[in-house]
Amino acid sequence: MTDSAFAFGLGVGTHNSKGEWLEVFFPRPLLAPNAALVKALAGCESATTLDREQLQALQDALAQARETEQAELAGRLLDSGRPAVAVLLRDDVPPANVPEGYLKLHLLSHRLVKPHGTNLQGLFGILPNVAWTNEGAVDISEVAQRQLEARLRGEVLEVSCVDKFPKMTNYVVPAGVRIAHTARVRLGAYLGEGTTIMHEGFVNFNAGTEGPGMIEGRISAGVYVGAGSDLGGGCSTIGTLSGGGNIVISVGKECLIGANGGIGIPLGDRCTVEAGLFITAGTKLTMLDSGGMPVETAKARDLAGKSDLLFRRNSTTGAVECLTNRSAVELNKELHAHN
């Protein structure tokens, strides 16, 4: 057994009445933990639910390995009495259980890996659908009983959503970002420093922004947006999920997707999509020369990943046109200040 590993996390979470994991919070996940820590975790493979004796032994081992922060965390978990779990991923393989899945989502939102930087295959099948409430995660089958118990106490169980993924900010709040509506950013989103997510912006898991950037549209699963790009209100990107299409959609640097527009192809750098225009791989385009004259036709997939393009719809003929766009989108610096 080698002393190398892909990732490690020591977490605290929630069980249902059957003792099954609903969710796990990893406050200090580690990517590529050092050899001393991996040695201290001998016998701790995959996701190990820890009783008090095991947690105490782990704390001692971490202290001996001089992993001060992790040892301190183990001590705090020991004092809390809450369900604790240690996850050691030797390799970057598909998650096999809820704690492994949550560790990988934390790696993304902590900016330790970028979208597509870890294997998430099968994640949907691993994570349970959960009622997210003001009392934390609740098993769907137990919601009615918990609602009754709350009413009998003269309280109300507030169910904010029912989903497999919680909102990111209940687990991770990255430095240097603005999020106007936190429920619209899922755990597993990657938000680079300088990113602004406006009220209508949405970021799925395994997706996000390099930053800085202004996001007023939808960043679907698997989509990564380059630095300095602007997604206008109501715009959308077609996502790429495990087992889905073989084209990874991305947005390059200094791009603009106009309000209510959208893309189903990857964009290179400094591209613009006109407001209200949705470009899919099969969209037929009229290519224009530098003088604005039509020269040939093509499908949008033929321009995937190419830079300095402007996509627009001819207001007279209705044809979708593409021409070179040499003027990069310059975002308002004041809007993107986060200090």
The residue type at 280: T
- Look up tokens 């390799």; give the residue: 91
Is 173 found in the same domain as 281?
yes
Is 93 found in the same domain as 144?
no
Q: How far is C-alpha 70 from the chain's CA centre? A: 25
Is 195 found in the same domain as 149?
no
Please report which helix (H) or strand (E) contains residue 75, including its range: helix 68-80
2 lies in some domain:
no
Residue 231, strand partner residues? 215, 257
Q: What is the average pLDDT across 185-199?
A: 97
Q: Which of 118, 115, 73 has its CA nearest to residue 94?
A: 118
Catalytic pick among 216, 254, 274, 321:
216
CB atoms within 10 A of CB 88: 24
The parent domain of residue 113 ranges over: 7-125
Cα distance from N-terminal residue to C-terminal residue, the chain: 46
Is 173 found in the same domain as 70?
no
Is 322 found in the same domain as 196?
yes
* Residue that terminates a domain, selected from 140, 163, 186: 163
229 lies in some domain:
yes
Instruction: Give the torsion sign (CA, 134, 135, 139, 143).
Output: negative
Which CATH number covers residue 154?
A: 3.30.60.70
Would residue 216 show up in a list of annotated catalytic residues for this protein? yes
Is 121 found in the same domain as 154?
no
Is 117 found in the same domain as 48?
yes
* Residue that terminates a domain, selected from 139, 163, 187: 163
185 lies in some domain:
yes
Cβ-Cβ contacts under 8 Å for 57 (sequence gap 6 or more): none
Q: Angle between the 52-64 and 68-80 helix axes, to the nearest 10 degrees? A: 160
pLDDT at 45: 64
Which CATH number covers residue 88?
A: 3.30.70.2010
The residue type at 188: G
How would DSSP label each residue in 94-151? ---SHHHHHHHHHHHHTTSS-TTSS--TTHHHHSPPEEEETTEEEEGGGHHHHHHHHH
Is 224 found in the same domain as 148?
no
Is 181 found in the same domain as 45?
no
Q: Which two tokens stand for residue 273?
A: 């999509």
Is 37 found in the same domain as 143?
no
No. of H helices and E strands in the chain?
A: 6, 27
pLDDT at 328: 35
Buried b (16+ CB within 10 A) or exposed e, 35-51: eebbebbeebeebbebe
Q: How far is C-alpha 139 from the chain's CA centre? A: 23
Let me know: does 203 contact 189? Beta carbons within 8 Å: yes
Number of domains the chain contains: 3
* Mean pLDDT, the chain, integer: 90
267-296 per-position pLDDT tens digit: 999 999 999 999 999 999 998 877 777 788
pLDDT at 203: 97
Let me know: does 311 contact 279? Beta carbons within 8 Å: yes
183 lies in some domain:
yes
- Using 50, 70 and 90 to split pLDDT, how confident is the model at 330? very low
289-327 per-position pLDDT tens digit: 777 777 888 899 999 999 999 999 998 899 999 988 654
CB atoms within 10 A of CB 309: 22
Per DSSP, the three-state class of 89 is strand
How would DSSP label each residue in 20-57? -EEEEE-SS-EES--HHHHHHTTT--EEEEE-HHHHHH
284 lies in some domain:
yes
Which CATH number covers residue 294?
A: 2.160.10.10
Let me know: does 13 contact 25? Beta carbons within 8 Å: yes
Is 60 found in the same domain as 116?
yes
Is the pLDDT confidence value at 64 over 80?
yes
Is 219 found in the same domain as 332?
yes
209 lies in some domain:
yes
Q: Which two tokens stand for residue 292?
A: 């604005």
268 lies in some domain:
yes
125-182 per-position pLDDT tens digit: 999 999 999 999 999 999 999 999 999 999 999 999 999 999 999 999 999 999 999 9
Length of the chain: 339
205-239 per-position pLDDT tens digit: 999 999 999 999 999 999 999 999 999 999 999 88
1 lies in some domain:
no
